[in-house]
Amino acid sequence: MFQNKLDFKQEFEKRLSEKYGRSVPDSHITERYDILGEMVRDYGGYHWRNCREDIAENGRKQCIYFSMEFLIGRLLVNNMQNLGIYKVAKEGLSELGIDINELEDMEPDAGLGNGGLGRLAACFLDSSASLGYPVHGNTIRYEYGFFRQKFVDGKQVELPDQWLSDGFVFEVRKPKHAVEVKFYGNAETYLRPDGTYALRTVNARSIRAVPYDVSVVGYRNGVANTLRLWSAEPSEENLPTDCSFNEYLSTLKELCFGLYPDDSTEHGRLLRLRQQYFLVSAGLQSCMRGHMRAFGTLDRFADHYVFQLNDTHPILAIPEMMRLLMDEYGYGWDEAWGVVQKSIAYTNHTVMPEALERWPVNYVQTLLPRIYMIIEEINRRFNAYMAEKGVNQDKRYQMQIIKDGQIHMTNMAIFAAFSVNGVAKIHTDILKNYTFKNLYELFPAKFNNKTNGVTHRRWLLYSNERLASLITSRIGDEWITKPEKLEDFRKFADDEKTQKAVMEVKAANKKDFARLVTDRYGIAIDPKGVFDTQIKRLHAYKRQLLNLFHIMYLYQKLKENPSAFKMTPRTYIFGAKAAPSYEYAKRIIELILAVADVINGDDEANGFMKIAFVENYGVTLAEHIIPASDISEQISTAGKEASGTSNMKLMMNGAITLGTLDGANIEIADRAGRENEIIFGLTAPEVQKLVDAGTYNPWDIYNGDARVKNVMDSLFTGPWALKNGDRFRMIFDEVMNHGDQYFILKDFDAYCKACDESEAFYLDKARWAKACIVNIAMSGHFSSDRTIEEYNRDIWHLTKLKVDADE
């Protein structure tokens, strides 16, 4: 390890010469980036080794966090900062004539995730390592990520995310830990040497799962955990005889091709199922094999491992753990079930019953026949349990794992897991009282809440250095490792010097982002105006459409009477990807881009408003947008958003929440005070009441509110529809003729008033600055450090690693 600038420079030059045969002046920027990345990776490797040794020597329990996605962003700066070597590297490179910022820009965002689910998982790994808990992620090594979004002719186009084209310097291939994952085949009974009968899978198609490990380094504490990426390769010993090798290779490549295959086709749905099983089977086999090697038995496996299932995708871990324990290690059903019930915990991320994962029986029967047999037996025993508890037939039917030709994965997870948690207080309450009401009545002790969090080190300390420095100048730097200490910043809420300093930081960040928008998109935006931000996955319930309808209304109002129109200049910032098969969401993106073209091209409007829709929104773009944002649009239909995490990141950076009482917005408003946020719209009980009554009719609002009528009509006749009058018919029909499922028009008037309120709020500079400071100060509660401590206290029960941070 290098200890100073001189050591760093010598090591850098030595590696560059050994690997590429180049001196520094002759080297290419890609070679320089690669060498720096290797040095950072290897520096953390010492911590990796020490942590593995500590776990082995002390028999520490570990958590395996199964998630289909980890949106980790760039690692170079994050890891250097966490290791405490950024300054040495920056200065050493400078003396070699290299600008570290240029090397930072060489790193692509890792294509391992898409939205909040994956970013949450990444934050959890960061906090676990920084707190010293042995928590390791498991996911798939997606060769082409989700997709790279490009806007072409005013529409979203999906291109491959070739994030691995130059390799991934932070991963280490571990072929010795490879395992075989089996699909298809059939189960057969055989006689064991001890005279008992057992089942095994034969005639299966084997795939070799090879792990690529990425170290997750904690904040200056000597801890390095692992994010394990599983890649599919041809089996070395069990090549298929029922298909050609080319067909077999094609199947392999599909498994790790990309995140969330198109589920509008049967082939895509089956591929999703194969990915899910591949992940959990590989992860479980690896853990069990390692445990057997260390202890010679799996009797105490649950004392050494806990598996957290992040959403419904990894629920196949339950029957797969049963299969491995029974078929591979000889345990009986009751013994194996006891292990499952002690080691599996489940996190739910949706309150909408239609979004809960269900698999057709014939899919699982064909692809995973032995797994289906186990699920059938779990379902049979669950029915026996319900009969024993006196559950009536109606409720028993609702809670069935297998019914109507489908396997209801969440019902199986709740029956099997020892813990079931929601991710915000309102979300957990809805799970208990609505989504899983019957299951909650049967298993009340399993349910608990763990409000999400985000890592304040990445989203404040590293992404917003100006603000972080200001906070430290006022309260010291203890908040970096103890985010609850941020609350000390609240005592400066009325301090005029601090208010002025916070606003200066925001202004500087806005100038930086305005420059990026101009350079990248050719749009000039006014950093002196309001930056109004909605950055999240494009989905109907998140209501980007409500935001857009209000912008369209303002534009119509301006054009109707330009001389009377008044408004503080405002830039509306959007960042969102729509799933490739989600046509409605893609049409909303098309409408946002069409409205942006009209407004941004209208000189009369430009003095008041602009729209900046960033392309290919991801972690790195978020790190530019969030520190510059004034308003955080969190306007989902109440009761639909599980938690949200962009709301927390924006709060942490001093943005004011303009939102509904949904997800974590409620807890944000409770923490910071309603007077420091702008809350509007229907509440979750009010939404449910309207749904139950079935009396809401969007045409009543259309006919009674001229603003709404004009906006809806403009989908056919407005300047954004001139190229093709029918291009936005789908949006009109979804809102007007399909019942306005997410109550966009019902909340429109309240939203307009909230936007007006935000303008008056912004113009009251002292009140606005105070609210910014209060939000920053109270955001410590929404650090993932707090969330992880709660998971560990109530679910995982891990002990902290004891390693020397200086080794």
User: Please, which residues bridge with residue 422 across strands?
Assistant: 449
- Contact status, residue 407 vs residue 316, Cβ threshold 8 Å: no
Cα distances from 314 to residues 27, 274, 303, 418, in angstroms, run 44, 11, 21, 16
The torsion angle over the Cα atoms of residues 610, 612, 613 and 617, rounded to 10 degrees, is -160
The closest of 532, 535, 540 to 587, measured between CA atoms, is 540
3-state SS of 197-208 is EEEEEECCEEEE
- Both structure tokens of 756: 């007006």
Strands 419-422 and 305-310: unpaired
- The whole-angstrom separation of Cα 744 and Cα 748 is 6
Is-catalytic flag, 536?
yes
For residue 754, give the 3-state DSSP assignment: helix
DSSP state of 109: P
SS (H, E, C) 8-67: HHHHHHHHHHHHHCCCCCCCCHHHHHHHHHHHHHHHHHHHHHHHHHHHHHHCCCEEEEEC
Residue 510 annotated as catalytic = no
Distance CA 559, CA 404 (A): 55
Could you count the other beta carbons within 10 Å of the beta carbon of residue 786? 18
Yes or no: say if 627 and 653 are a contact pair by the CB < 8 Å rule.
Answer: yes
DSSP 75: -
Q: Kindly tell me the burial class for residue 246, based on how many C-beta atoms sit within 10 Å of its own C-beta (0-12, 13-18, 19 or more).
A: exposed
Is 41 part of the annotated catalytic residue set? no
Token pair 């409000």: residue: 451
Q: Give every CB contact of residue 175 below 8 A, 6+ residues apart in sequence.
A: 210
Give CA–CA dist 700/736, Å, rounded: 10
Query: Which of 182, 649, 671, 746 is the catalytic position?
Result: 649
End-to-end CA gap in the chain: 9
d(CA 547, CA 748): 9
Task: Select from 389, 385, 420 the least CA-distant residue to 401.
Answer: 385
Q: Which segments of 476-563 are extended strands (E)?
A: 530-535
In the chain, the amino acid numbered 85 is I
Report the candidate in 164, 118, 86, 170 with the shortest Cα–Cα distance to residue 619. Answer: 118
Residue 738 among the catalytic residues: no
Residue 72's CB: how many other CB atoms inside 10 A?
27
DSSP-derived letter for residue 458 is I
Residue 760 near residue 754 (C-beta atoms within 8 A): no
Q: Which of 61, 349, 727, 786 is catalytic?
A: 349
Q: From the candidates 141, 182, 432, 542, which is the catalytic residue? A: 542
Q: Whose CA is closest to 415, among 379, 388, 387, 451? A: 379
Specify whether 455 is catalytic. no
Annotated catalytic residue: which of 536, 587, 707, 746? 536
d(CA 319, CA 413): 10
Instruction: From 640, 737, 747, select the one nearest 697 (Cα to Cα).
Output: 737
Q: Verify whether residue 5 is a known catalytic residue.
A: no
C-alpha 2/C-alpha 8 separation (Å) is 5
Beta bridge partners of 307: 64, 344
Catalytic residue positions? 349, 536-537, 542, 645, 649
